[in-house]
């Protein structure tokens, strides 16, 4: 049997969870949906399948120390630190090259560090299937995308239109990738069926990925091999890698990419609204974290984990997030407007708050 | 001309401005409507008329140091410290006895420390009239109440029904005192006219007050004279004084109490709602204090004077108050529900937050 590896992509940054998330503390380090960070949750979700020695984490220099603290069990050589972010294709190509050198017959699952999965066992069952499908008993090794069966007309995700089923397998061909749709289109996708949310998680045999990279991003394929041969060149070489996403650079072009329709509860936790959605609520639909006092409140999210009492009285559909140096009050459904706050702070050069 | 004194009653406590107000920092110490405390504003409003040496402040032991810091110019002997709160009649009787000993012909204005008056000059003009009316050129000295001409059917104030005008004077007889009315009654008062808001401010000649006290609260009248004779008995005597309000104990019973219909802008600042009302607002009706960032907000009050950024996005009709250890979010119009928060904290024995 092929050795199995998991690569967690933890290099992301973002502002959608301001004020909890900051440049130095992006979303993957926030405790959402559990009392551990999303990064830690992601690692714990798979470590029983592959062990810490077969888990790789790719992150940015600025977040490396934080990642080490979160994942104390991770062997030092399994933390891949990008000198600078170059989008997902270089990150995955590098990790694939590292794994290939350790185990030339490996199958690899690539997982974003900042998703929430409420049922880890159901997720693992799908992952087992995908790992098997990535190296079928007969035929060529493959790249397998995890595609979630939609449960609502979500406009915040990209979709994969599934193509023909593959006989005797659970995966299907990929007909096409589609960008985030408008509401009407998303409703049509839901009604028609055959469209799946692109989870950003994928599983492949190293040969399948290396073949695809060599064909579609040959410069990248060559340079990551050079990187693995000469690790000391990392700081010099990495910034030269082509900055391109794995979807655009490989998935949408490569032959033999398949999708596994999946139905475990999944969220990419894209906003405070989503954070409210996924968490355990009281009878009035409230999520109260930390020292929150809710009186006559309904469908609110109060994050009071900064050590101060947050009393919320007589309000509905509101998000209140307290931190040591900044506080946010914003209605549910308006969570995208967090960006306006961060933009304003940037304009005001209040970098310490971003 | 009689000497003129002002007594500021600063002994109050309350929870309606939680979390800004606490047991140790009641409303009179909050900066509302200006960048100085209501107590300081009250003193500055009258000091140009009487001078610091003719200004007396009555407060509680627990607040005495705070009052001294706020009113550094106040002579030490002008700060009257109640060993325990005994309602307003003992406080006023004591201050009156102190003033009478210093100037037997004095006229005195008694002012609560926690009201807001947007036009101090208009207020002083009324006060001048009232001081003159308290010691008319002809006839007996009087007690003059300041009654505000209502501008709305307010249910939060007590009313004074004005009686007959007094010839050649601006004051009128008092027909009766009425408790806080319901909405319908308040609307009738407004429509009928002749009803005035009881401001809790009154002006008297010491003889008029001492005569009224001797008649209606004789025990109190005797004991405060004893107190002034023997200040060292304060801690022993004061707690024995009858706990009664000046309205109930004197004003509603004494003959010769008159009311001066007044029309300066006045608020007793009874809640966060009132605090929003009286303050300068931007074009969208927002009051933003301290490090507040408002985006797409309307009719909100944000008090961000605790050193933390408070970002409020996309909300209307909301009050957000940040302090070092507690935060409140409550809709405008629900400000009375602050009490529910304080009650809850008391039940939970979280006294450090009250």
- Please give the share of chain B, as a percent, with pLDDT higher than 90: 94
Contact B329 A312 (CB under 8 A): yes
Task: Please say whether the dihedral angle defined by the alpha carbons of residues A347, A348, A349 and A352, taken in this order, is positive or negative.
Answer: negative
pLDDT at B296: 96
Distance from CA of B302 to the nearest CA of A (A): 10
User: Looking at the predicted structure, is the pLDDT value of residue B146 above 80?
Assistant: yes
B-chain residues near A330 (CB < 8 A): 311-315
pLDDT at B283: 97
- CA-nearest of A161, A172, A67, A50 to A103 is A50
Cross-chain CB nearest to A334 (options B314, B340, B341): B314
Q: Specify burial of residue B246 (Cβ count, 10 A radius: 0-12, 13-18, 19+).
A: buried
pLDDT at B336: 81
Contact B322 A320 (CB under 8 A): no
List B residues 112-171 in contact with A (Cβ-Cβ < 8 A): none
Measure the CA angle with vertex A46, ends A45 and A52; round to 5°.
120
Q: Could you give the CA distance from residue A270 to residue A196 in angstroms, rounded to a whole number?
A: 18
Cross-chain CB nearest to A325 (options B309, B318, B320): B309
Q: Specify burial of residue A286 (Cβ count, 10 A radius: 0-12, 13-18, 19+).
A: buried
Confidence band, pLDDT 50/70/90 cuts, at residue A331: very high
Q: State whether residue A320 sits within 8 Å of chain B by CB.
A: yes
pLDDT at A94: 98
Distance from CA of B309 to the nearest CA of A (A): 5
User: Looking at the predicted structure, is the pLDDT value of residue A168 above 90?
Assistant: no
- Cβ-Cβ contacts under 8 Å between A and B: the total is 112
Q: Could you give the CA distance from residue A32 to residue A35 in angstroms, rounded to a whole number?
A: 7
A-chain residues near B329 (CB < 8 A): 310-313, 315, 318, 320, 329
Q: State whether residue A331 sits within 8 Å of chain B by CB.
A: yes
A290-302 average pLDDT score: 97
Contact B313 A328 (CB under 8 A): yes
* pTM for the full predicted model: 0.90
Which tens digits make up the pLDDT trace of A23-34?
Answer: 989 999 999 999
B210-234 average pLDDT score: 96
Contact B309 A326 (CB under 8 A): yes
The separation between CA A79 and the C-alpha centre of its own chain, rounded to angstroms, equals: 17
Q: What interface predicted TM-score (ipTM) does this complex get?
A: 0.89
Q: What residue has token string 């319901």? A: B182
């Amino acid at each position: 049997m092929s050795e199995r590896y998991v690569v967690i992509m933890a290099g992301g940054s973002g502002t959608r969870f301001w004020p909890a998330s900051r440049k130095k503390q992006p979303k993957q380090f926030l405790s959402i949906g559990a009392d551990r960070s999303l990064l830690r949750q992601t690692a714990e979700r798979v470590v029983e399948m592959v062990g810490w020695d077969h888990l790789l984490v790719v992150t940015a220099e600025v977040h490396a120390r934080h990642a080490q603290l979160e994942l104390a069990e991770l062997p030092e050589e399994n933390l891949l630190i990008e000198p600078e972010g170059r989008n997902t294709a270089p990150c995955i190509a590098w990790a694939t090259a590292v794994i290939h050198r350790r185990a030339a017959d490996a199958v690899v699952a690539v997982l974003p560090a900042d998703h929430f999965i409420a049922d880890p066992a159901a997720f693992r069952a799908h992952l087992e299937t995908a790992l098997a499908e990535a190296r079928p008993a007969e035929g060529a090794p493959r790249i397998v995308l995890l595609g979630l069966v939609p449960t609502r007309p979500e406009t915040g995700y990209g979709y994969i239109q599934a193509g023909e089923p593959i006989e005797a397998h659970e995966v299907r061909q990929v007909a096409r990738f589609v960008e985030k749709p408008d509401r009407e289109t998303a409703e049509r996708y839901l009604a028609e069926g055959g469209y799946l949310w692109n989870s950003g998680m994928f599983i492949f045999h190293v040969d399948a990925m290396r073949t695809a990279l060599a064909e579609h991003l040959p410069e990248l394929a060559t340079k990551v091999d050079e990187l693995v041969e000469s690790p000391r060149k990392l700081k010099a070489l990495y910034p030269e890698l082509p900055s391109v996403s794995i979807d655009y650079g490989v998935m949408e072009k490569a032959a033999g990419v398949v999708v596994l329709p999946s139905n475990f509860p999944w969220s990419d936790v894209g906003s405070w609204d989503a954070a409210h959605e996924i968490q355990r609520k009281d009878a009035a639909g409230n999520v109260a974290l930390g020292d929150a006092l809710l009186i006559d409140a309904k469908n609110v999210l109060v994050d009071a984990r900064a050590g101060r009492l947050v009393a919320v009285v007589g309000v509905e559909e509101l998000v209140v997030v307290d931190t040591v140096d900044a506080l946010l009050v914003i209605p549910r459904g308006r969570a995208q407007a967090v960006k306006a706050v961060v933009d304003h702070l940037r304009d005001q050069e209040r970098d310490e708050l971003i």
